[in-house]
Amino acid sequence: MRKPHKAPLTVAHRGASGYAPENTLAAVDKAHELGIEWVENDVQRTKDGKLIVIHDTTLSRTTDVEEHFPDRSPWKVSDFTLKEIRTLDAGSWFGSQYKGEKIPTLDEFLGRLDRYGQELLLELKSPGLYPGIERDTLDELRQQGWLDRRHTRSKLIIQSFDKASIEQVHQQSPEVKTGFLGTPKTGDLKEYAKFTDQINPTYTDATKEYVDAVHALKGPHNKPLEVFTWTVNDADTARKVADAGVDGIISNKPDVVSDAVQQT
């Protein structure tokens, strides 16, 4: 008989982004308030080389950049310095109570997680736009103490949709756990298992058959590959992917998911 599996971990997607503006310190605070230990974020780089936490490659959707810099269309993250970005309001779009919330630096984001003892699923977002961001990110993590044994053993995973980027992270810091975002063909999984510890598909791809195929392989740390799936915001889907055997569920409403999977 198949061994019953543990309830999957719940990961707050861009922080608890169903309740607070995504990828802000307020979204980390909210995840903590909900009792969620794992937080996902998206890391990009400013014009002057600073690492910041934001999902889109432009600033328009989640800030008031168009008001402050009307002539700087298309408002790419990489065209603005950190000083300029710090003038932006990254909270009001979500709700007036978040007015004045800033786009955090990676450094600040890590500090907030450390305050709560939280874990980080760090996504390198569109790394092709930022040559060398793998090295920059690992350097920043090292400086902030996130590459010590305690963090690399259980508090940090670096993931990306970009296979080459994850391969680089693995080569540069093999002690760090990594994840590939996407659904490689099962016949290709062996190749991925050389450099990634996780295969993280969208929830519609997280079938039992696919999850079993991933689990059958061992990753670079000689443990079975894991599956964290995204983005699940309702109880029924959470139970479905939990039944398929996933190891983690990434959610904008992590409280809903956590409650659903604890009950199964």
Residues marked as catalytic: 13, 55
For residues 31 and 254, what is the distance between their CA atoms, to the nearest angstrom? 8
Q: Which amino acid is at 41?
A: N
**DSSP state letters, 62-98:** TS-HHHH-TTSTT-BGGGS-HHHHTTS-SSTTT-GGG
Among 25, 158, 181, 257, binds ligand G3P (CB under 6 A): 181
Q: Note whether 13 binds ligand G3P by CB under 6 A.
A: yes
Q: Note whether 167 binds Ca ion by CB under 5 A.
A: no
Nearer to ligand G3P, 63 or 198 (CB): 198
Nearer to ligand G3P, 42 or 89 (CB): 42
β-bridge pairing 228-229 and 38-45: unpaired
For residues 200 and 225, what is the distance between their CA atoms, to the nearest angstrom? 10
Q: Note whether 42 binds ligand G3P by CB under 6 A.
A: yes
Q: Note whether 162 binds Ca ion by CB under 5 A.
A: no
Among 22, 56, 123, 134, binds Ca ion (CB under 5 A): 123
For residues 66 and 154, what is the distance between their CA atoms, to the nearest angstrom? 40
Nearer to ligand G3P, 69 or 184 (CB): 184
Q: Note whether 42 binds Ca ion by CB under 5 A.
A: yes
Count the site residues for Ca ion by CB under 5 A: 2
Helices (H) and strands (E) in the chain, counts: 11, 9
Among 39, 102, 230, 257, binds ligand G3P (CB under 6 A): 230
For residues 48 and 55, what is the distance between their CA atoms, to the nearest angstrom? 18
Binding-site partner at residue 230 among Ca ion, ligand G3P, none, CB < 5 to 8 Å by type: ligand G3P
For residues 130 and 121, what is the distance between their CA atoms, to the nearest angstrom? 19
Count the site residues for ligand G3P by CB under 6 A: 9
Q: Which residues bind Ca ion (CB under 5 A)?
A: 42, 123
Q: Which residues bind ligand G3P (CB under 6 A)?
A: 13, 40, 42, 55, 123, 181, 230-231, 250
